[in-house]
Homo-oligomer: A and B are copies of this chain.
Amino acid sequence: MKNKIMTAKEAVAPIKNGASIMVGGFMACGTPENLIDALVEKGVKNLTIICNDAGVPSRGVGKLLTNGQIKTLIASHVGLNPEVAQRMNTDVEEDKLECILVPQGTLAERIRAGGTGLGGFLTPTGVGTIVAEGKQVINIDGRDYLLEKPLKADVALIRGSVTDKFGNTTYNATTRNFNPMMATAAEYVIIGACEIVEVGEIDPNNVVTSGIFVDAIAGGEKPWQI
Protein backbone atom coordinates (compact mmCIF):
# COMPACT_ATOMS: atom_id res chain seq x y z
CA MET A 1 0.00 0.00 0.00
CA LYS A 2 1.26 3.42 -0.98
CA ASN A 3 2.25 5.61 1.97
CA LYS A 4 -0.11 8.56 2.28
CA ILE A 5 1.06 9.91 5.65
CA MET A 6 3.03 13.16 5.40
CA THR A 7 3.31 16.62 6.93
CA ALA A 8 0.75 19.30 6.16
CA LYS A 9 3.50 21.16 4.27
CA GLU A 10 4.25 18.13 2.10
CA ALA A 11 0.56 17.50 1.56
CA VAL A 12 -0.16 21.00 0.20
CA ALA A 13 3.05 21.12 -1.89
CA PRO A 14 1.34 20.16 -5.19
CA ILE A 15 -1.23 23.00 -4.89
CA LYS A 16 -0.62 25.72 -7.48
CA ASN A 17 -1.62 29.34 -7.96
CA GLY A 18 -5.12 29.55 -9.39
CA ALA A 19 -6.21 26.17 -8.03
CA SER A 20 -9.83 25.50 -7.09
CA ILE A 21 -10.02 24.14 -3.56
CA MET A 22 -12.94 22.72 -1.64
CA VAL A 23 -12.62 23.17 2.11
CA GLY A 24 -14.79 21.21 4.54
CA GLY A 25 -16.34 22.80 7.60
CA PHE A 26 -19.29 24.87 8.74
CA MET A 27 -18.20 28.10 10.38
CA ALA A 28 -14.79 26.40 10.57
CA CYS A 29 -16.18 23.52 12.66
CA GLY A 30 -14.75 20.61 10.70
CA THR A 31 -12.16 22.63 8.81
CA PRO A 32 -8.57 21.27 8.80
CA GLU A 33 -6.74 24.25 10.30
CA ASN A 34 -3.25 22.80 9.90
CA LEU A 35 -3.79 22.37 6.19
CA ILE A 36 -5.11 25.95 5.95
CA ASP A 37 -2.05 27.18 7.86
CA ALA A 38 0.26 25.27 5.50
CA LEU A 39 -1.54 26.86 2.56
CA VAL A 40 -1.14 30.31 4.12
CA GLU A 41 2.56 29.65 4.57
CA LYS A 42 2.90 28.39 1.00
CA GLY A 43 1.29 31.62 -0.14
CA VAL A 44 -0.35 30.40 -3.36
CA LYS A 45 -2.65 33.05 -4.81
CA ASN A 46 -5.70 33.53 -7.03
CA LEU A 47 -7.42 30.58 -5.43
CA THR A 48 -11.06 29.65 -5.97
CA ILE A 49 -12.32 28.49 -2.60
CA ILE A 50 -15.48 26.43 -2.30
CA CYS A 51 -16.67 26.31 1.29
CA ASN A 52 -20.01 26.60 3.07
CA ASP A 53 -19.01 29.99 4.49
CA ALA A 54 -16.09 32.37 4.94
CA GLY A 55 -15.30 31.31 8.49
CA VAL A 56 -14.11 34.17 10.66
CA PRO A 57 -10.94 36.21 10.03
CA SER A 58 -8.83 34.09 12.39
CA ARG A 59 -10.28 30.67 11.52
CA GLY A 60 -10.92 28.41 8.57
CA VAL A 61 -10.81 29.86 5.08
CA GLY A 62 -10.96 33.30 6.71
CA LYS A 63 -7.17 33.04 7.11
CA LEU A 64 -6.72 32.64 3.37
CA LEU A 65 -8.95 35.64 2.79
CA THR A 66 -7.04 37.80 5.26
CA ASN A 67 -3.82 36.75 3.55
CA GLY A 68 -5.13 37.87 0.15
CA GLN A 69 -4.99 34.41 -1.43
CA ILE A 70 -8.62 34.09 -2.55
CA LYS A 71 -9.81 35.43 -5.87
CA THR A 72 -13.20 33.74 -5.98
CA LEU A 73 -15.27 32.42 -3.10
CA ILE A 74 -18.19 30.08 -3.67
CA ALA A 75 -20.21 29.84 -0.45
CA SER A 76 -23.73 29.93 0.99
CA HIS A 77 -23.14 32.41 3.81
CA VAL A 78 -20.43 35.02 4.36
CA GLY A 79 -22.08 37.33 6.88
CA LEU A 80 -19.96 36.38 9.88
CA ASN A 81 -16.68 37.42 8.26
CA PRO A 82 -16.73 41.21 7.72
CA GLU A 83 -13.65 41.02 5.50
CA VAL A 84 -15.74 39.47 2.72
CA ALA A 85 -17.82 42.61 2.25
CA GLN A 86 -14.70 44.80 2.53
CA ARG A 87 -12.89 42.86 -0.19
CA MET A 88 -15.92 42.65 -2.45
CA ASN A 89 -16.24 46.44 -2.32
CA THR A 90 -12.56 47.42 -2.45
CA ASP A 91 -11.34 49.79 -5.16
CA VAL A 92 -7.95 48.04 -5.27
CA GLU A 93 -8.46 45.80 -8.28
CA GLU A 94 -5.92 43.15 -7.23
CA ASP A 95 -7.54 42.73 -3.80
CA LYS A 96 -11.05 42.42 -5.19
CA LEU A 97 -12.96 39.31 -4.17
CA GLU A 98 -15.56 37.69 -6.38
CA CYS A 99 -18.17 36.06 -4.16
CA ILE A 100 -20.66 33.60 -5.63
CA LEU A 101 -23.51 32.79 -3.26
CA VAL A 102 -25.23 29.41 -3.56
CA PRO A 103 -28.08 28.12 -1.38
CA GLN A 104 -26.61 25.74 1.18
CA GLY A 105 -28.59 22.68 0.12
CA THR A 106 -27.86 23.36 -3.54
CA LEU A 107 -24.16 23.77 -2.75
CA ALA A 108 -24.04 20.42 -0.94
CA GLU A 109 -25.95 18.72 -3.74
CA ARG A 110 -23.83 20.28 -6.51
CA ILE A 111 -20.69 18.95 -4.86
CA ARG A 112 -22.32 15.54 -4.45
CA ALA A 113 -23.29 15.62 -8.15
CA GLY A 114 -19.69 16.47 -9.04
CA GLY A 115 -18.41 13.49 -7.10
CA THR A 116 -21.03 11.04 -8.33
CA GLY A 117 -20.96 11.70 -12.07
CA LEU A 118 -24.36 13.31 -12.41
CA GLY A 119 -24.75 15.99 -15.06
CA GLY A 120 -26.96 18.02 -12.75
CA PHE A 121 -30.18 17.88 -10.77
CA LEU A 122 -33.50 19.64 -10.49
CA THR A 123 -34.18 21.52 -7.29
CA PRO A 124 -37.16 23.63 -6.25
CA THR A 125 -34.80 25.85 -4.26
CA GLY A 126 -34.25 29.28 -5.77
CA VAL A 127 -37.11 29.19 -8.29
CA GLY A 128 -38.37 32.76 -8.83
CA THR A 129 -35.33 34.34 -7.12
CA ILE A 130 -32.11 35.88 -8.42
CA VAL A 131 -30.51 32.47 -7.89
CA ALA A 132 -32.49 31.35 -10.94
CA GLU A 133 -30.87 33.92 -13.25
CA GLY A 134 -29.28 32.26 -16.26
CA LYS A 135 -30.48 28.81 -15.25
CA GLN A 136 -32.81 26.49 -17.10
CA VAL A 137 -36.24 26.02 -15.47
CA ILE A 138 -37.75 22.59 -16.04
CA ASN A 139 -41.32 21.70 -15.12
CA ILE A 140 -41.81 18.19 -13.79
CA ASP A 141 -45.34 17.05 -13.07
CA GLY A 142 -46.59 20.62 -12.67
CA ARG A 143 -43.83 22.04 -10.49
CA ASP A 144 -40.93 24.24 -11.59
CA TYR A 145 -37.35 23.28 -10.76
CA LEU A 146 -33.97 24.84 -11.45
CA LEU A 147 -31.39 22.79 -13.29
CA GLU A 148 -28.26 23.02 -11.16
CA LYS A 149 -24.90 21.78 -12.40
CA PRO A 150 -22.22 19.71 -10.66
CA LEU A 151 -19.27 21.30 -8.92
CA LYS A 152 -15.76 19.83 -8.87
CA ALA A 153 -12.39 21.11 -7.78
CA ASP A 154 -8.67 20.51 -8.13
CA VAL A 155 -8.16 19.96 -4.43
CA ALA A 156 -10.19 19.12 -1.32
CA LEU A 157 -9.06 19.85 2.23
CA ILE A 158 -10.95 17.51 4.56
CA ARG A 159 -11.00 17.35 8.36
CA GLY A 160 -11.19 13.75 9.54
CA SER A 161 -11.78 12.79 13.15
CA VAL A 162 -10.37 9.27 12.82
CA THR A 163 -8.51 8.22 9.67
CA ASP A 164 -6.77 4.95 8.98
CA LYS A 165 -3.56 4.79 6.97
CA PHE A 166 -5.47 3.91 3.80
CA GLY A 167 -7.59 7.03 4.26
CA ASN A 168 -10.84 5.51 5.49
CA THR A 169 -12.30 8.30 7.57
CA THR A 170 -14.99 9.07 10.14
CA TYR A 171 -16.21 12.49 11.21
CA ASN A 172 -17.26 13.36 14.75
CA ALA A 173 -20.55 15.12 15.47
CA THR A 174 -21.21 18.25 13.37
CA THR A 175 -17.73 18.29 11.83
CA ARG A 176 -19.11 16.02 9.11
CA ASN A 177 -21.05 18.72 7.19
CA PHE A 178 -19.52 19.20 3.69
CA ASN A 179 -16.48 16.98 4.19
CA PRO A 180 -17.83 13.66 2.82
CA MET A 181 -19.09 15.13 -0.46
CA MET A 182 -15.98 17.22 -1.02
CA ALA A 183 -13.77 14.16 -0.56
CA THR A 184 -15.43 12.66 -3.66
CA ALA A 185 -15.38 15.73 -5.89
CA ALA A 186 -11.72 16.78 -6.15
CA GLU A 187 -8.73 15.48 -8.08
CA TYR A 188 -6.39 15.67 -5.11
CA VAL A 189 -7.77 14.99 -1.64
CA ILE A 190 -5.96 15.68 1.62
CA ILE A 191 -7.27 14.53 4.98
CA GLY A 192 -6.24 16.61 7.96
CA ALA A 193 -6.73 14.01 10.68
CA CYS A 194 -7.25 14.35 14.42
CA GLU A 195 -6.29 10.72 14.94
CA ILE A 196 -4.50 8.31 12.60
CA VAL A 197 -5.04 4.59 13.21
CA GLU A 198 -3.98 1.35 11.57
CA VAL A 199 -5.97 -0.01 8.66
CA GLY A 200 -8.77 -2.19 10.00
CA GLU A 201 -9.29 -0.33 13.25
CA ILE A 202 -12.46 1.43 12.06
CA ASP A 203 -15.61 -0.73 11.91
CA PRO A 204 -16.40 -1.22 8.18
CA ASN A 205 -20.02 -0.28 8.95
CA ASN A 206 -18.97 3.12 10.28
CA VAL A 207 -16.45 4.36 7.72
CA VAL A 208 -17.92 7.43 6.00
CA THR A 209 -15.23 8.30 3.43
CA SER A 210 -13.42 5.50 1.63
CA GLY A 211 -9.63 5.57 1.42
CA ILE A 212 -9.89 5.22 -2.35
CA PHE A 213 -10.65 8.94 -2.47
CA VAL A 214 -7.68 9.96 -0.34
CA ASP A 215 -4.29 11.02 -1.71
CA ALA A 216 -2.57 12.40 1.38
CA ILE A 217 -3.06 12.29 5.15
CA ALA A 218 -1.59 14.80 7.60
CA GLY A 219 -2.05 14.49 11.34
CA GLY A 220 -2.16 17.06 14.13
CA GLU A 221 -5.70 18.35 13.74
CA LYS A 222 -7.92 18.70 16.80
CA PRO A 223 -11.38 19.96 17.64
CA TRP A 224 -10.60 23.67 17.33
CA GLN A 225 -12.41 26.41 19.20
CA ILE A 226 -14.18 28.75 16.78
Residues of A within 8 A of B (CB): 109, 113, 117-124, 138, 140-141, 143, 145, 147, 149, 170-173, 204-206
Contacts and interface: CB of A to CB of B under 8 A. Distances in A.
Nearest to A139: B119
Q: Which 9 A-B pairs have the closest CB atoms?
A: A119-B122, A119-B145, A119-B140, A121-B121, A120-B122, A206-B206, A118-B121, A120-B140, A118-B122
Given A149-B140, A205-B172, A206-B206, A113 B117 contact: no
In terms of DSSP, what is the predominant structure of the interface of chain A?
mixed
A36 to B, nearest CB: 24
Contacts of A205: 170-173, 206
A32 B159 CA distance: 37
A140 B205 CA distance: 36
A215 to B, nearest CB: 25
Nearest to A172: B205
A161 to B, nearest CB: 9
Contacts of A113: 121
Nearest to A113: B121
Contacts of A172: 205
Nearest to A203: B206
Contacts of A171: 205
